[in-house]
């Protein structure tokens, strides 16, 4: 267990956008996805799900299967929940 790297998921959201990044514990960002600069139509919940799927694809390309969620002070509902659900639906263990 000590030779395996651990990865942390951090999610940031504003009134219009949502973004997520996966970094190792030393702070090196491995993958990230954001809704900024992208033309996404639909409700904020569906956009959060799509951005989560984008991040999940990037994580799987790097052969990462286990991450943990650094929640900070965010409540686990709404867009945050949909973002995490997209990762779980693509077999990423959180």
Domain boundaries, the chain: 7-89
Write down how long the chain is: 94
Please, what CATH class does the domain formed by 7-89 belong to? alpha beta
Q: For residue 2, is pLDDT > 90? A: no
- 3-state secondary structure string across the chain: CCCCCCEEEEEEECCCCEEEEEEECCCCEEEEEECCCCCCCCCHHHHHHHHHHHHHHHHHHCCCCECEECCCCCCCCCHHHHHHHHHHHCCCEC
Is 0.85 topped by the overall pTM? yes
Per residue in 72-90, pLDDT (tens digit) is: 888 889 999 999 999 999 9
Q: For residue 33, is pLDDT > 90? A: yes
Weakest-pLDDT range from 35-39, 50-54, 80-84? 35-39
Per residue in 5-32, pLDDT (tens digit) is: 899 999 999 999 999 999 999 999 999 9
């Amino acid at each position: 267990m000590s030779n395996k790297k651990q990865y942390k998921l951090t999610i940031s959201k504003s009134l219009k956008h949502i973004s997520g990044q996966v970094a190792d514990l030393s702070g090196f960002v491995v993958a990230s996805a954001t809704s900024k600069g992208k033309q996404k139509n639909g409700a904020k919940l569906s956009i959060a799900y799509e951005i989560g799927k984008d991040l999940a694809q990037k994580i799987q390309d790097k052969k990462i299967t286990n991450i943990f969620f650094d929640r900070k002070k965010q409540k686990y509902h709404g867009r945050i929940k949909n973002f995490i659900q997209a990762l779980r639906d693509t077999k990423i263990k959180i």
